[in-house]
């Protein structure tokens, strides 16, 4: 697999507090890579830096050979790096249809948008059933499906996901992870930040453990599931 994104020496600080301390990692095309760790480890900050939503203090982010460091967030989206934010960030006073259509606003291939909308309905049939209802009336699981569906409408080459299982019932979590595996099998590269460490490692080809802003462990998902240090720290022994 070729490297789609290479992150080198990434640093992010909030005032005098260094949240991300010069980390290195790569995302390979066609893989699911996960970044796991405890609350406050710097996982969400890392994603925000990749999207250009927080300013990095050092290092480089190279996507498909291009340095993203000087690009604005909307230009990064146009390059194909699309993030699903923690908490979903759907527009609750708009309909499901309007939210999905908004996902495609940067696209120039308007003729293909309809087919992609149908693909989202294939992945998330519930969204089609609620298409003209207000997004704010959806359940938490349906809102997460809508957030992912809206991101897919942007035709990403790299999908960034921040805590997609947060606050969801276990049966819905299983469904979300099943769909992530399905869209990955279709060829989409995924970078997953997730507190549900076991679920994330099960589906990830590559994994990194972030502790206090630094990479503490890395390897395949299966390797880290068997790592005694990770099992003790995150999987209850």
Are 66 and 16 within 8 A, CB to CB?
no
Is residue 112 situated within a structural domain?
Answer: yes
Same domain, 165 and 151: no
**What predicted TM-score, i.e. pTM, was given to this entire model?**
0.93
Helix axes 170-185, 140-152, angle to 10 degrees: 10
Q: Which of 103, 137, 155 is the last residue of a domain?
A: 155
- Claim to verify: residue 75 and residue 160 sit in the same structural domain: yes
Domains: count for the chain: 2
Asked whether residue 142 falls in the same domain as residue 184, the answer is no
Task: Measure the CA–CA gap between 222 and 204, rounded to whole angstroms.
Answer: 8
Q: Would you say 176 and 145 are in contact if contact means Cβ atoms under 8 Å apart? A: yes
CA-nearest of 189, 140, 198 to 169 is 140
- What is the per-residue burial (b if ≥16 Cβ within 10 Å, else e) of 168-182? beeebbebbbebbee
Q: How far apart are CA 57 and CA 72, in angstroms?
A: 16
Same domain, 26 and 124: no
For 91-219, where are the alpha helices, taking DSSP H only?
Answer: 96-103, 113-123, 125-129, 140-152, 170-185, 197-203
Both 10 and 67 in one domain: the answer is: yes
Measure the CA angle with vertex 64, ends 99 and 54; round to 5°. Answer: 55
Instruction: Per residue of the chain (237 residues), give pLDDT as tens.
Output: 799 999 999 999 999 999 999 999 999 999 999 999 888 889 999 999 999 999 999 999 999 999 998 899 999 999 999 999 887 678 888 999 999 999 988 777 877 888 899 999 999 999 999 999 999 999 999 999 999 999 999 999 999 999 998 888 899 999 999 999 999 999 999 999 988 888 999 999 999 999 999 999 999 999 998 888 887 887 765
Domain coverage including residue 193: 3-80+156-234
Does 87 fall in a domain? no
């Amino acid at each position: 697999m070729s490297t789609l994104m290479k992150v080198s020496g990434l640093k992010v600080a909030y005032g005098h507090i260094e949240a991300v301390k010069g980390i290195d990692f790569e995302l390979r095309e066609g893989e699911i890579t996960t970044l796991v760790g405890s609350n406050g480890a710097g996982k969400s900050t890392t994603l925000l830096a990749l999207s250009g939503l927080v300013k990095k203090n050092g290092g480089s982010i190279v996507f498909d050979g291009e340095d993203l460091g000087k690009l604005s967030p909307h230009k990064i989206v146009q390059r194909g790096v699309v993030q699903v934010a923690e908490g979903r960030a759907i527009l609750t006073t708009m309909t499901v249809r309007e939210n999905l259509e908004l996902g495609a606003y940067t696209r120039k291939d308007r003729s293909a948008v309809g087919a992609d909308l149908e693909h989202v309905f294939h992945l998330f049939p519930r969204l089609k059933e609620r298409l003209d209802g207000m997004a704010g009336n959806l359940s938490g699981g349906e809102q997460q499906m809508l957030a992912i569906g809206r991101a897919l409408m942007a035709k990403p080459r790299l999908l960034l996901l921040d805590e997609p299982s947060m606050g969801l019932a276990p049966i819905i979590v299983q469904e979300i992870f099943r769909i992530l595996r399905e869209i990955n099998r279709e060829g989409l590269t995924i970078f997953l930040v997730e507190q549900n460490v076991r679920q994330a490692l099960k589906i990830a080809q590559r994994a990194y453990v972030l502790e206090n802003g630094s990479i503490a462990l890395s390897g395949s998902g299966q390797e880290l599931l068997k790592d005694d240090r990770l099992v003790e720290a995150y999987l209850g022994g």
